[in-house]
Every structure is written in C-alpha cells, then in structure tokens.
Amino acid sequence: MNLRNPRTDEKGAVVPGVRTAPKDRSARWDHVLTLLASTKRLSVADVARELEVSESTVRRDFMEMERAQLARRTHGGIVAVDVAYSLATVPRRADEDSAQRERVAERAATMVEPGQIIGFNGGRSTTATARRTVARPDLDVRDGVPGLTVVCAALNIATEAVLRPSVRTVVLGGVAEPYSFELTGPLATATMRDLWLDTMFVGTVGLDVHAGLTCNSDAEAGVTRIMIGHSRRVVGLATADKIGHRALAGICPVSVLTDLVMAGPVPDALRAHLEETSVRLHEV
C-alpha cells in the first residue's frame, strides 16, 4: 500500500527522498487520521513503515484510537468510522504548523471540566481541540447528565462530537459555509441567543494587537461574537503564523479573551498587551 504517493522513475522504482515522519504521538495521530480520511483502511505494517516506528507502537496507537472512537480495529489494522469521515475536512499536514496546532489543542482540552457547556467556532485549531476534548475518558454520563455539552458552529466539529455517547451535541442552524463548514445567518444567530456557555474556544485567521482576532467572513464573525458574548470564559487558540495577520472581519479585541493558548514565539508587543489587559497566556 502506497500511503505517501512517493515519486517513482520510469520503471516504477521509488525515488529516494527526505522523509519527515512524525514521531510524537499527537503528530502520529494527526497523520494517521488524515490518511484514514482518504483511504478508509490502514494496516499496522503500512503505518509502521510510513511513520518509521515499530509495529507495537502502531498497535498501541490503534488501540487508543478505537477507545477514543476515532476508528475501529480490524485484524492487522484499523478502518474509518464512516460517520466520522463522511464530511469533508481541511487537509492536515504533518508539518510544524500542524505540530503547533496539536500542542495548542492538547493544552486547551485540559481546560474543560466534566459537565461543562463549551462552544467552538470553525477552524483547524478548534477542530483539533474538539477532537481531543470529546475523546477524554473522564467524560462519563452520570445520573442521566451528559459528560459534556458541545455547541458547534461548524458541521465538521459536530461530527467529531456526535460519535461520543457521553457528549450532548448542539448544532446551530443556518447556512453552511463551503470552506469552513461554519453555520451562519439569522437562524444561527437566533439559536445562539438562547444558549449559554461555560467556555468558548475561538479559532482565528489572524491575531493582531490592534485589529484583534479576525477571520475571512463577516457572517462567521457575527455568529462567533454572539457565542463569545454568551460565555463565561473565552479561550483564544493561535499559532505563530497567525500573529500580525489581519483578515477581513473582526471577531473581537484581544482584551475580550480570558485566556490565549499560543504555540510558537510570542512577540514582545503582544505579550505586553496581554499583561495590560489581564489575558492569561498559556505558552505551549
């Protein structure tokens, strides 16, 4: 099985090249889930060769993925849980940006307490955070009360949450945007006005001291602003590539955040602004 589609010569032989196989568990999982979304089935041997790790490591990963309901084990491999991969997702790359997003997601997921009501707007960082959060083993249904309630402004995040029996999934109505899968429009905003959150996780296209958090759609920004206004705690999620960038539509000033989970170097100007506005910085 050819997972990476490597270059071959005219005789069909693989041309050697530089491999950048992910080594840590979070990067391995991200890479495996990306492959699984397209192939639907993976074998232990193929993944071990692809990631340059032992087959015992891959088997442990597969066992934990099944426990987290991200895949189903078969003899010698895993297969995709059809519902989880029925909706298109933004391709994830095994690069430094992906590794940073996973570090952000890992830290952000620890901020959630069992039984809370949490919200997500769309984006790769929020999707990774939602995936890690709903997979936590301590989120059990107790006395009929869900282990967690997730309010989703994006369809792909809803598919991450709805597979979990202990998680109550609330999806806003509205018009689905074709690239971000976010739900927008009067129906989405009307629904959100009746809901209240403990914690809102906010992904962003750009993060600038003066412009604040920004995205590419004023419709998406409008729904996110209402979610922020209905939350006790607002956690921004950002990687180094977002800093200093300004997208079209403003989501909120940096000062609206209660926390910022940040991967990569933090510029002095941003660090000072966070201190001045009492925003807690979590560097990962």
* CATH number of the domain to which 51 belongs: 1.10.10.10
Give the tens place of pLDDT for each residue, 4-47.
444 444 444 444 443 445 567 767 887 787 788 778 889 999 99
All residues at 6 or more sequence positions from 240 whose CB lies less than 8 Å from its CB, including other chains: 100, 262, 263, 264, 265
Question: Of the given ranges (24-33, 102-111, 152-161, 217-226), which has the lowest mean pLDDT?
Answer: 24-33
Total number of domains constituting the chain: 2
> Are residues 106 and 76 part of one domain?
no
> Are residues 121 and 238 part of one domain?
yes
- 244 pLDDT exceeds 70? yes
Query: What's the pLDDT at 91?
Result: 46
Query: What's the pLDDT at 34?
Result: 73
Query: What's the pLDDT at 81?
Result: 66
Q: What percentage of the chain carries pLDDT values higher than 90?
A: 63
| 154 phi/psi in degrees, rounded to 5 | -135, 135
- 258 pLDDT exceeds 80? yes
Question: Of the given ranges (68-72, 84-88, 217-221), which has the lowest mean pLDDT?
Answer: 84-88
CA 98, CA 92: separation in Å to the nearest integer?
A: 7
> Are residues 109 and 74 part of one domain?
no
How many CB atoms lie under 10 A from the CB of residue 49?
Answer: 16
- 137 pLDDT exceeds 70? yes
> Is 66 part of a structural domain of the chain?
yes
Query: What's the pLDDT at 202?
Result: 98
Residue 65: give the domain boundaries. 25-80
- 275 pLDDT exceeds 60? yes
> Are residues 186 and 277 part of one domain?
yes
Nearest 5°: the CA angle 224, 155, 131 is 90
User: How is 190-236 classified by DSSP, letter by letter?
Assistant: HHHTT--EEEEEEE-SEEETTTEEEES-HHHHHHHHHHHHTEEEEEE
Residue 62's identity, in one-letter code, is F
> Is 121 part of a structural domain of the chain?
yes
> Are residues 185 and 55 part of one domain?
no
> Are residues 233 and 105 part of one domain?
yes
> Are residues 62 and 158 part of one domain?
no
> Are residues 123 and 60 part of one domain?
no
Which of 46, 12, 226 shows the shortest CA–CA distance to 119? 226
> Are residues 187 and 153 part of one domain?
yes
